[in-house]
Amino acid sequence: MRLGITRNVWAMGWTSLLNDASSELLYPILPLFLTITLGAPASAVGAVEGAADAAAQVVGLAMGRRSDRIRRRMPFVWTGYTLSNIAKPLVAVAPAWGWVMGARVVDRTGKGIRTAPRDALLRDSSGPSRTGFVFGFHRFMDSLGAVIGPLIALALLEAGLSFRQVIAVAIVPAVLSMFALRRIRDIPALPHEPGPQPDPHRLSDMGRPFWTFTISWTVFSLGNSADVFLLLRAKDLGLSVTAVVLSYALYNTLYSGLSWPLGHLSDRVGKRRVLAVGLLVFAGVYAGFGLAGSGAAVWPLMAIYGVYIAATDGVSKALVSDLSPAALRATGQGAFKLATGAAAVAASLVAGVLWQTVGPGAVFALGAGAALLGLLTLAVTRPARGLTS
């Protein structure tokens, strides 16, 4: 153990860093590739990301249940990463935006297969009082890859490579991630506790604290459209392609740098408090993007947006793991992602239509309003003291 982190958690961190460097090398230029190279409308951008996210959510719960039932994680982790890495090069050869949608669906299906079992394995590999710390460290490594990826993309674009060529390079860190994956091991299943055991197929066994939090986050997710709309807005406000990618790298730098300390803080002051601050930050950033009149506003807004995601991404997963029965940890992660992810898919589809028919301001007004409503729901559905962090 180094820094109080087990070998498994280190290996999962390196795997995520390399895989996210691959994904985020592609992601910030994807909306530009769709709209400029392939001539797709803004609604198609929402449709592509909506379909991709939907694929991840559809399989996530089923894989989480299956993982809990057989009490193994690694077969799902291996399958998920392999499928995603096969899909990435397909985007580079896409002749039309429908092809990109198909490739992204395959990619995100792989993400759906691996995510709930991997997050359950993270919890299995950590102590009960350090879930925020461990999930924060994993988010730090993951988002560090998300800083490296856009910077590589930017360097390649500056070197004169086309969007297609830059996307093709994403396969290199994807392959490297498979070598890091070999260091991860399943945690032997603990003996069942005496008495009736929770059934992964009966979601009511997740308990009231789990569902109250899931409902709160789903309300917020109804306005949390894909980040590609932030990138489109940056371009709309006058930023060059290079500046758009740099702004995205800035966001990921703040995300990476703050994920670990905010995760650690959540173990000390309570995860709900940190999540509530994150929702307030999100509302402020979306309001700012809606009201912005020049590209200069993009830089501070993207930086502050990194604070929001650092305060919520790993911390929400850690809280879900705390609220899930030990025998249903992967099921809990899958159910949470299905509920909140389905809401986010709807948000992306609606955002694409609003962008074209009303204007960008409507997209960001919806997001800010949903964050404030989610914050209110989080407050009024708080379980009794002692049931949750």
Contact between 233 and 352 under an 8 Å Cβ cutoff? The reply is: no
pLDDT above 90 as % of the chain: 45
Q: In this model, does residue 105 exceed pLDDT 80?
A: yes
- The phi-psi region of residue 348 (left if phi > 0; otherwise alpha if psi is between -120 and 50; otherwise beta) is alpha
Q: Please report the domains of the chain, with CATH numbers, ordered by start residue.
A: 7-176+207-380 (1.20.1250.20)
Contact between 177 and 85 under an 8 Å Cβ cutoff? The reply is: yes
Q: What is the mean pLDDT of residues 253-276?
A: 93
Confidence of residue 386 (pLDDT cuts 50, 70, 90): very low
- d(CA 251, CA 50) in angstroms, rounded, equals 22
Average pLDDT of the chain to the nearest whole number: 87
Residue 218: which residues within 8 A CB-CB, separation 6 or more? 339, 340, 343
Contact between 127 and 321 under an 8 Å Cβ cutoff? The reply is: no
Residue 268: which residues within 8 A CB-CB, separation 6 or more? none
Convert the pLDDT of each residue in 195-219 to its tens digit. Answer: 555 555 577 778 888 999 999 999 9
Q: In this model, does residue 108 exceed pLDDT 80?
A: yes
The reported pLDDT for the residue numbered 189 is 63
The reported pLDDT for the residue numbered 362 is 94
Residue 98: which residues within 8 A CB-CB, separation 6 or more? none
Q: What is the mean pLDDT of residues 215-228?
A: 91
Comparing 63-77, 179-193, 298-312, which segment has the lowest mean pLDDT? Answer: 179-193
Comparing 37-46, 62-71, 117-126, which segment has the lowest mean pLDDT? Answer: 37-46
Which tokens belong to 295?
Answer: 């590209």
Convert the pLDDT of each residue in 269-309 to its tens digit. Answer: 999 999 999 999 999 999 999 999 899 999 999 999 999 99
